[in-house]
Amino acid sequence: MNIVDLILTKRSGDALDDAQIHAFVEAYTAGDVPDYQMSAFLMAAFLRGMTEAEMISLTHAMLHSGIVLDLSDVPGVKVDKHSTGGVGDKVSIPLAPIVAACGVPVPMISGRGLGHTGGTLDKLESIPGFTTALSMQAYRRQLAEIGLVMIGQTDDIAPADRKLYALRDVTGTVEFVPFIAASILSKKLAEGIDALVLDVKFGSGAFMQAEPDARHLAETLVRVSEGFGKPAVALLTDMDQPLGCAVGNWPEIHESIQLLAGGSAPDLEEVTFELAAEMLVAGNAARSQEEGRLMARKAVVSGHAMDRFRQLVRAQGGSLVAIERPETRYDGAHAADVRAPEGMSGAVARIDARDVGRAMVDLGAGRRTKEDAVDPLAGCWLSKRQGDAVRPGDVLARVTATDASRLEAAVERIARAYTLSAQAPPPGSRIRDRFAAGVWSR
SS3 203: coil
Closest to 120 (Cα-Cα) out of 132, 110, 129: 110
**Range picked from 81-90, 169-178, 230-239 for highest mean pLDDT:** 230-239
Q: Per-residue confidence at 311, pLDDT binned at 50, 70, 90?
A: very high
pLDDT digits (tens, 9 = 90+) for 195-221: 999 999 999 989 888 999 999 999 999
Cα distance between residue 291 and residue 204, in whole Å: 33
What pLDDT does residue 109 have?
A: 85
What pLDDT does residue 98 have?
A: 98
CB of 174 within 8 A of CB of 354?
A: no
| Mean local confidence (pLDDT), 218-239 | 96
The rounded mean pLDDT for the chain is 93
| Mean local confidence (pLDDT), 396-401 | 96
Q: Is 161 a catalytic residue?
A: yes
What pLDDT does residue 27 have?
A: 96
| Mean local confidence (pLDDT), 385-403 | 96
Domain 333-421: assigned CATH number: 3.90.1170.30
Cα distance between residue 294 and residue 300, in whole Å: 10
Which regions of the chain carry the CATH code 3.90.1170.30? Answer: 333-421
Helix (H) or strand (E) segment spanning residue 195: strand 195-202
Q: Which of 55-69, 73-87, 162-176 bottoms out in mean pLDDT, i.e. has the lowest?
A: 162-176
Q: Determine which one of 183, 186, 204, 264 is catalytic.
A: 183
Which regions of the chain carry the CATH code 3.40.1030.10? Answer: 79-325+431-440
pLDDT digits (tens, 9 = 90+) for 318-372: 999 999 999 999 998 999 999 999 989 999 999 999 999 999 998 988 776 666 7
Domain 79-325+431-440: assigned CATH number: 3.40.1030.10
Q: Is 372 a catalytic residue?
A: no
What pLDDT does residue 113 have?
A: 63
CB of 277 within 8 A of CB of 286?
A: yes
pTM of the model: 0.90
What pLDDT does residue 80 have?
A: 96
Q: Is 135 a catalytic residue?
A: no
Q: Is 82 a catalytic residue?
A: yes
- Give the residue with greater pLDDT, 169 vs 202: 202
| Mean local confidence (pLDDT), 96-116 | 86
Cα distance between residue 162 and residue 81, in whole Å: 18
Q: Determine which one of 22, 60, 78, 82 is catalytic.
A: 82
What pLDDT does residue 114 have?
A: 59
How many percent of the chain have pLDDT more than 70?
A: 97
Closest to 41 (Cα-Cα) out of 1, 65, 10: 10
Q: Determine which one of 112, 187, 384, 406 is catalytic.
A: 187
Q: Is 187 a catalytic residue?
A: yes
Q: Which of 13-17, 65-69, 286-290 bottoms out in mean pLDDT, i.e. has the lowest?
A: 65-69
Which regions of the chain carry the CATH code 1.20.970.10? Answer: 3-49
| Mean local confidence (pLDDT), 165-186 | 88
Q: Per-residue confidence at 1, pLDDT binned at 50, 70, 90?
A: confident
pLDDT of 116 above 70? no
Strand partners, 11: none
CB of 191 within 8 A of CB of 157?
A: yes
CB of 97 within 8 A of CB of 312?
A: yes
pLDDT of 282 above 70? yes
pLDDT of 115 above 70? no
| Mean local confidence (pLDDT), 73-84 | 94
pLDDT of 279 above 80? yes
What pLDDT does residue 369 have?
A: 62
> What CATH topology corresponds to 3-49?
1.20.970
Q: Per-residue confidence at 50, pLDDT binned at 50, 70, 90?
A: very high
Q: Determine which one of 60, 123, 168, 201 is catalytic.
A: 168
pLDDT of 174 above 90? no
pLDDT of 394 above 90? yes
pLDDT of 148 above 80? yes
Strand partners, 147: none
